[in-house]
A and B are shown apart, each in its own frame.
Chain A
């Protein structure tokens, strides 16, 4: 499998994820790239082995295309208050802010305190960030352990 094909699959995945507001299936990606589902599955496996994706164990479909999450999380990202509302899920607070960074537009993260569950909103407007109510971000695991259990992390 060529790096060029893997890169095309990766880019198509992200483009469709952003467009659809959910993770596209392997079949949907294969349909747009006019290749087989097994080719996409193989590309997914190689991208996952390189820590560029995280796959669902049984189906082989995407679980995480960082910063995006294919399953609902407590980190809802919203953009486009004035140009068409869109939303996605981030994997964690870092990733949720990463969705806004990746899109290079204003947005906000609807989340909650990891301890007490109080609702919190982190907004980014013209590159300036603000949390209401104010908060602190905590990284529980040191960097060398991030991929030991990426779902917990």
Chain B
């Protein structure tokens, strides 16, 4: 996951790597995703999320398209 200056730069990068355009997030959305995903990583009780738990987290951030389906 990379950060780019603009949509135009994303398109140039995708073309150079021969990859279809993926999903984009604003910096605010990316921060919310990072905060939700990693906030508890140092907890002694931390365990890997189940697929359904991960989907629920994505959904809570508005990331509900097929792109965000883990399985």
Contact = CB atoms under 8 A, between A and B. Distances in A.
A57 interface: no
A67 B6 contact: no
Contacts of A46: none
Contacts of A86: none
Interface residues of A, number: 48
Contact of B24 (A66, A98, A113, A136): A136
A95 interface: yes
Contacts of A151: none
Interface of chain A, helix or strand or loop or mixed?
Answer: mixed
A135 B5 contact: yes
Interface string B29-48: 11101110111011010001
B70 A114 contact: no
A137 B48 contact: no
Interface string B1-16: 1111111011011101
Given A67-B38, A122-B3, A52 B26 contact: no
